[in-house]
Structure 1
Amino acid sequence: MLVREIMTVPAHSLPLGASMEVAIQLLARAHVSALPVVDPDRRVVGIVSEADVLRVHLVPDPRAHLRPVEAPEDPWPTTLDEVMTPDPVTVMESADVADVGQLLADTGWKSVPVTHDGRLVGIVSRSDILRALTTSDSSIRRHLTREFAELGRARWVVSVNEGQVTVSGTRGKREARLAEVMASAVAGVRRVVVTPSNPAQSRAEGHQPAR
């Protein structure tokens, strides 16, 4: 499963030099945890997160403190350039979702910008990945049946059980490999088993898609 198959498009973003007020409003309105910051060519030059905003814009409430609250020494930032993380990590749209999922798990990030030729094309989040993993068996079966029919392979029979896809009716190693690759690319598929018409060519040992 590739990032471009599950990413959110278009990605909300902010131009370099945007005000903090605009950044706060967009974070709240779009219900996202972070926003890429782009230059005029849509190249990602920074990222601003909810945490960045909270660190600099929450004013202590005197009622919650026994001692007087001191005013901050530095003035409040007015543009996101002052608080964003420059040169953030991005992933390509052709990246493996398994690798991106591991990146998000290891770093604790909730999302990461997606680029093509260095330009922002989307954003992929933990929730995007989770939604892909919860694709129903019936949806997977309908999708593959339609894809195979459009390819002129309506004779291939598809069954799906808890994310495991079984494709039967292929002829020869080339068809078996094609069915395996196509099924492995579908969101929510955990394992693929191909059983050709000729038992001698069986690939029934199964294939585990990269995740």
Structure 2
Amino acid sequence: MTASYRRSTEPLSPHLLPSLALGQSPVPDGDGRITPLPWRLRREALGRSTPGKSHGQGRRSQHPPAGEAPPLLTVADVMTRDVVSVSTATPVSEIAGALSGKRISAVPVVGVDGSLLGIVSESDLIRRAEIGTQRRRSLWRRVFADASAEASDYVRAHGRKARHVMTLEVVTVTEDMTLAEVADLMERRRLKRLPVVRGNRLVGIVSRSDLVRAVARHRVPSFANPATDDTILRDLSARVEALSPSPRLINVSVHRGNADIAGLVESAAEREAILVAAENTPGIRSIQDRMILRPRSVS
């Protein structure tokens, strides 16, 4: 149920909130073709001792006890383990077909021992002679251009193997990194996916879509022992104090899980943030929004 709020200085009818929880691994072979990774190597790469072990064994609980912060998700919780990868000898045309056919934005380049050597992404394939998008320098630019740079551009535009177009400096992550760290890295480096390594060995890949799927799987936990009004009030008051620049101007009360929030806020954004904080406070059944914008003095 989606919460909606009317802007009013008069007491409003409580808005009920939901209170219950909604209840072929390709890898290149010697000739550069994309082929399934043998199960023995897959099991070693995944760190499994027995093939029959449940994927969820040893995982942390997704439903923490009331009053405790939820556990931080790590790369190991969401990463894709069956990774499409290529060798240095894989044809560029085959790589392009894999990217478009599987709707992925990059493929790691690995050695025969599974070590990560590089990565080929969509950006590595947009300057190609086949489609007439190779770099063209004017005559005067060629005079001052670095000869090695010219040669490198030519190889990347005309080379037919992965080794000709792959990026060697690869940004990687490890299985124990938190999703917050991964999101920061993706945002800062403007990357869509990151290889996951154990040492220098490729064990998976984590992408933006993996993070989105984690959001989709999230469910609000239900608690066996409902929080008391005093517990809810302390929790919500702490959230309001952290969000509002003037928390003393806001009054919060809770009765039988029904929260009443009144007072002055500096902006509509602050008001919305407080309402969202209330929605996320365990134990709250409904919200009365009686906040108003603080009048601005006119000089």
Whether the TM-score (by the shorter chain) exceeds 0.5 is yes
1:104 paired to 2:171: no
1:30 paired to 2:102: yes
Identity of aligned residues (%): 32
Shift of 1:29: 1.7
- What is the letter of the counterpart of residue 115 of structure 2? R
Greater length-normalized contact order (CA 8 Å, ≥ 6 residues apart)? 2
The aligned residue for residue 54 of structure 1 is 126
- What is the letter of the counterpart of residue 95 of structure 1? M
CA distance in 1: counterparts of 2:174 and 2:159, whole angstroms: 32
- What is the letter of the counterpart of residue 21 of structure 1? S
CA distance in 2: counterparts of 1:129 and 1:36, whole angstroms: 19
CA distance in 2: counterparts of 1:4 and 1:29, whole angstroms: 26
Shift of 1:114: 0.6
CA distance in 2: counterparts of 1:105 and 1:128, whole angstroms: 15
CA distance in 1: counterparts of 2:169 and 2:218, whole angstroms: 38
Q: How does 1:37-186 map to 2 (within 5 A)?
A: 37-57=109-129, 59-60=131-132, 74=154, 76-137=158-219, 141=221, 157=224
- What is the letter of the counterpart of residue 118 of structure 1? N
Provide closer, same or farther for how the CA distance between residues 192 and 100 of structure 1 changes in structure 2, counting only shifts above 3 A: farther
SS in 2 for 1:94: coil
CA distance in 1: counterparts of 2:225 and 2:167, whole angstroms: 47
Provide closer, same or farther for how the CA distance between residues 100 and 58 of structure 1 changes in structure 2, counting only shifts above 3 A: farther
The aligned residue for residue 17 of structure 1 is 89
Q: Larger Cα Rg: Structure 1 or Structure 2?
A: 2
Provide closer, same or farther for how the CA distance between residues 41 and 135 of structure 1 changes in structure 2, counting only shifts above 3 A: same
> What is the RMSD computed on CA atoms of the aligned residues?
2.7
CA distance in 1: counterparts of 2:182 and 2:74, whole angstroms: 10
Q: Aligned pairs, how many?
A: 137
Which consecutive unaligned segments of at least 5 residues does structure 1 have? 62-72, 146-155, 160-190, 194-211
Give yes or no for contact 1:45–1:86 (8 Å, CA) kept in 2: yes
Provide closer, same or farther for how the CA distance between residues 158 and 52 of structure 1 changes in structure 2, counting only shifts above 3 A: farther
1:126-172 alpha-carbon deviations (Å, 9 max, x no partner): 111122123342xx64xxx8xxxxxxxxxx7278xxxxxxxxxxxxx
CA distance in 2: counterparts of 1:10 and 1:44, whole angstroms: 15
Provide closer, same or farther for how the CA distance between residues 57 and 120 of structure 1 changes in structure 2, counting only shifts above 3 A: farther
SS in 1 for 2:196: strand
Which consecutive unaligned segments of at least 5 residues does structure 2 have? 1-72, 134-152, 227-279, 283-299
Shift of 1:74: 4.1
Shift of 1:58: 5.1
Give yes or no for contact 1:3–1:95 (8 Å, CA) kept in 2: yes
Give yes or no for contact 1:44–1:87 (8 Å, CA) kept in 2: no
1:55-77 alpha-carbon deviations (Å, 9 max, x no partner): 1255249xxxxxxxxxxx94721
Normalised by the size of structure 2, how large is the TM-score? 0.42
Give yes or no for contact 1:6–1:128 (8 Å, CA) kept in 2: yes
Normalised by the size of structure 1, how large is the TM-score? 0.58
1:1-27 alpha-carbon deviations (Å, 9 max, x no partner): 110100112111111221111211111
Provide closer, same or farther for how the CA distance between residues 157 and 107 of structure 1 changes in structure 2, counting only shifts above 3 A: same
Shift of 1:94: 1.2
